[in-house]
């Protein structure tokens, strides 16, 4: 996995969640708090999620085969989608079930210092993990807002870790509030309500992750900036006069397919056109290094015929480049 995949953030989150999961489960055994049980399952699910992200990054590095000629870059999208399913089923649904049971049959929390102490420790540990994810994301986020970064990122790992860590921190605060109210009022129902809120939070995050990774799995175009760089790189003003239409597709976070029909001068020979195409491909790769698979089809452009809709070079479905819309987000 490349550095942009956020391996450091994933490993930091994995280490934090494993330690926190053990601590929370021990606190549950001593206190009987349902919030602690839900949080321990949440941390265990998060640990499994980070393992899935690392596994997806490893599998994505496999070389292309005749059966998969464009490689395995999308493995990272598949495993990120699995993360959303695990978060929904294991974390969210279990917490809702446990919260419902505790509200239906409340009981007093014992040894209150265990859950409170573990929750404070967990908040500190998760804060360090969240900080690592923020630092790693800032290396690639640029001027994008955090919402835009989550929606537009082509590498799924960092948005997943960011949302997981954010959900974990909010969940810990909810658990601490539930335990605190249960201890303050002597009513164990508050512990169950806190657990129920944790479950709802996890399900909301899982739905957001599923929606974002689904878009990546379906196939997204390059971002608007990369599309403009590619268009500018194709045209040399000599043999290649314009881009008639173009399609881009992410084969993986760091691998882009570019297919374009380009206009060449009618008087150019086949050898000159071939040379111009090779030069255009080199310019594209210089401008956008992740553009590794490039197909350029030469054509003779007739502006009048294109306007009339009879030119064979007209973009399928219209003349508006789809990347302008598709590159704006998931």
The DSSP 8-state label assigned to residue 257 in this structure reads E
Which residues of the chain are under the pLDDT cut of 50? Answer: 1-5, 318-328
Local structure of 89: helix, strand or coil: helix
CA separation for the pair 326, 223 (Å, rounded): 8
Q: Which residues pair with 298 in a beta bridge?
A: 262
pTM for this predicted structure: 0.73
Query: What is each CA distance from 9 to 146, 175, 223, 250, in whole angstroms?
Result: 16, 24, 24, 23
Distance of CA 169 to the CA centre of its chain: 19
Give me the pLDDT at residue 307, please: 61
Q: For 283-326, how does the pLDDT look when each residue is reduced to its tens digit (9 = 90+)?
A: 999 999 999 999 999 988 766 656 655 555 555 554 444 444 44
Predicted local distance difference test score (pLDDT) of residue 231: 93
Longest dimension (CA), the chain: 89
**Local structure of residue 144 (DSSP, 8 states):** -
For the beta carbon of residue 200, count every other beta carbon within 10 angstroms: 14
Element (H, E) at 2: none
3-state secondary structure of 267: coil
């Amino acid at each position: 996995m490349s550095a942009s995949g956020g391996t450091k953030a994933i490993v930091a989150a994995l280490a934090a969640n494993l330690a926190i999961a053990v601590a929370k489960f021990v606190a549950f055994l001593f206190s009987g708090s349902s919030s602690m049980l839900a949080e321990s399952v949440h941390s265990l699910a998060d640990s499994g999620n980070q393992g899935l992200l690392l596994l997806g990054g490893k599998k994505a590095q496999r070389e292309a085969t005749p059966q998969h000629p464009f490689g395995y870059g999308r493995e990272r999208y598949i495993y990120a989608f699995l993360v959303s399913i695990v978060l929904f089923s294991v974390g969210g649904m279990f917490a809702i079930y446990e919260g419902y049971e505790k509200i239906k049959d409340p009981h007093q929390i014992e040894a209150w210092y265990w859950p409170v102490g573990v929750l404070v420790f967990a908040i500190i540990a998760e804060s360090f993990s969240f900080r690592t994810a923020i630092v790693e994301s800032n290396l690639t986020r640029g001027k994008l807002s955090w919402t835009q970064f989550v929606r537009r990122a082509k590498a799924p790992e960092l948005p997943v870790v960011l949302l997981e860590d954010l959900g974990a921190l909010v969940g810990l605060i909810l658990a601490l509030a539930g335990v605190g109210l249960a201890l303050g009022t002597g009513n164990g129902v508050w512990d169950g309500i806190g657990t129920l809120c944790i479950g709802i939070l996890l399900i909301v995050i899982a739905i957001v992750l599923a929606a974002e990774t689904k878009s990546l799995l379906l196939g997204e175009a390059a971002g608007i900036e990369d599309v403009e760089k590619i268009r500018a790189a194709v045209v040399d003003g000599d043999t290649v006069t314009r881009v008639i239409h173009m399609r881009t597709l992410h084969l993986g976070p760091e691998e882009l397919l570019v297919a374009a029909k380009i206009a060449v001068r009618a008087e150019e020979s086949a050898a000159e056109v071939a040379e111009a195409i090779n030069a255009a491909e080199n310019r594209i790769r210089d401008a956008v290094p992740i553009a590794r698979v490039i197909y350029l089809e030469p054509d003779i452009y007739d502006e009048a015929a294109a306007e009339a809709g009879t030119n064979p070079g007209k973009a399928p479905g219209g003349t508006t480049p789809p990347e302008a819309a598709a590159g704006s987000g998931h």
